Amino acid sequence: PVKSVAVLPGDGIGPEVTSAALDVLDKLALPLDLRFGEIGWECWRQEGNPVPARTWKLLEETDTCLLGAITSKPLREAEEELPADLRGTGLTFVSPVIQLRQRLSLYANIRPVSDLVDGRFDFTVIRENTEGLYAGYDFHGLDDALWNLVREHPNAQASGPGSSSVTLRLQTRFGMDRLIRHGFAYARSHGHHRLTLVDKPNVLRHSGNHLRELLELIAVDHPEIETEILNVDAVALWLVRRPERFGVLVAENMFGDILSDLGAGVMGGLGLAPSGNIGDHGSYFEPVHGSAPGMAGQDRANPMAMVLTVAQMLDHLGMPVPGGELREAVRAVAGRRTTLTYDMGGASGTREVAHAVAEQLDRS
Ligand code: NAI
Ligand code: MG
């Protein structure tokens, strides 16, 4: 069956890497209906809305979304760039990426990390996207209820309620249950044999216990997958020293945020790292990198992150030609080392690298 994809190239290098990756995708002749739409800074500058109503409509009508990159700027600059008739009307720039995650309830951020050059490791970080320390329960200047929580701490006593801050790490059964289940399903469908729950149970004892009980309960349904709980700091060390020992890593919001970027680093940088955001009723896929405005329009950006993002999307859509073929082609080009962008030590342009990947698909 034909699947429809909302393609939102966005800002900066977004359009270049999107168009390059779609040239590669073309080679696979898949039953996909690509429908282009607009999102991002240019929409904000012209219309005062970075996600126009027509784009929400497109997202409703399609099976998933491929996003290039979006420029964001501080609130004051955002206001200044509005057309005169929209300035001072109370419009505020809200990050489109955050709007997508909230409105579509995309609770899992999926970051596959693999060694493209010699296939030494292949793991995936799955980060919780909706709760944890980033849930928004962040206070400075404590009211009585919050002060009562921390008043015994000697540093709090020395500072007083007016000079203390509290951020709550919200961890719900609902939120962690769906995340862990998604982790197991992902491990199973991607051939991983180990699931690591990343936490800090020896310090965060109550929430740690809560999570352990939940993991044990869900793990019973997946006896073929080995599970473990590791401390986040130890995982950071081992991702660098022995990345090959990991399969799927599941983590709450902040731990996952940090490990995801560590993963992009382990992989070789932003020019290579793909990602997907997934919920029960929606999804979108985007490279980890941003819009890199300084490089826009120069045919310099590495398109590999976007090609790997397309591969991740194909797997998610269950296409007849799996994303694995695209990944193999990228691996072959990366391994040959003759056609690479500057960030991988080469001198080729965006289109040239995409072309090499497309040719590789023809060969295999
Ligand atoms: P960035 O990811 O755009 O660029 C950071 C550095 O990585 C740059 O030096 C760039 O040269 C390099 N780089 C990024 N993508 C590359 C590629 N494909 N090939 C080769 N090198 C690449 O992050 P930065 O500079 O912090 O942000 C720029 C804009 O992007 C900002 O407006 C920011 O808000 C936005 N942004 C958007 C994201 C998104 O759409 N999800 C994520 C991160 C940033
Ligand atoms: Mg981050």
Same-domain pairing of 126 and 240: yes
pLDDT at 321: 81
**Does residue 161 lie within any of the structural domains?**
yes
**Is 68 part of a structural domain of the chain?**
yes
User: Same domain, yes or no, for 194 and 308?
Assistant: no
Q: Which residues are catalytic?
A: 134, 200, 233, 257, 261
Predicted model pTM: 0.94
Ligand 1 atom, smallest distance to 294 CA: 11
- The domain in which residue 208 lies consists of 107-133+170-281
**CATH label of the domain that carries residue 127:** 3.40.718.10
287 lies in some domain: no
Report how far ligand 1's centroid is from the alpha carbon of 298 (Å). 15
147 plus 52 within the same structural domain: no
200 plus 216 within the same structural domain: yes
* In a shared domain, residues 272 and 184: yes
Last residue of a domain, one of 246, 281, 316: 281
Listing DSSP states for 253-301 in one string gives: HHHHHHHHHHHHHHHT-TTT-EEEEE-SS-EEEEESS---GGGTTTT-S
Considering its fold, how many domains does the chain have in total? Answer: 3
Q: Please tell me whether residues 314 and 339 are part of one structural domain.
A: yes
Give residue ranges with CB within 6 A of ligand 1.
13, 17, 69-72, 97, 270-271, 286, 289-293, 295, 301-302, 305, 341, 343
pLDDT at position 118 is 84
The tens place of each residue's pLDDT in the chain, 364 residues long, gives: 899 999 999 999 999 999 999 999 999 999 999 999 999 999 999 999 999 999 999 999 999 999 999 999 988 899 999 999 998 888 989 999 989 998 999 999 999 999 998 889 999 999 999 999 999 899 999 999 999 999 999 999 999 999 999 999 999 999 999 999 999 999 999 999 999 999 999 999 999 999 999 999 999 999 999 999 999 999 999 999 999 999 999 999 999 999 999 999 999 999 999 999 999 999 999 999 999 999 999 999 999 999 999 999 999 999 888 789 999 999 999 999 999 999 999 999 999 999 999 999 988 7
Shared domain check, 208 and 328: no
- 14 with 97, same domain: the answer is yes
The span from the CA of 65 to the CA of 22, in Å, is 13
Residue 224 lies in a domain: yes
Q: Tell me phi and psi for residue 343, to 5 degrees.
A: -65, -20
Among 198, 190, 22, 21, residue whose Cα is nearest residue 113: 190
Q: How far is the CA of 224 from the centre of ligand 2 (A)?
A: 32
- Could you report the predicted ipTM of this complex, rounded to two decimals? 0.97
Question: Is 79 inside any structural domain?
Answer: yes
Give me the amino acid identity at 353.
V
What DSSP line would sit under 132-164, residue for residue? BTTSS-EEES--HHHHHHHTTSHHHHHH-GGG-
Taking alpha carbons only, the member of 340, 5, 290, 266 closest to residue 111 is 266
Mutate to test the pocket of ligand 1, among 16, 44, 65, 270 (most ligand atoms within 8 A of CB): 270
Are residues 100 and 23 part of one domain? yes
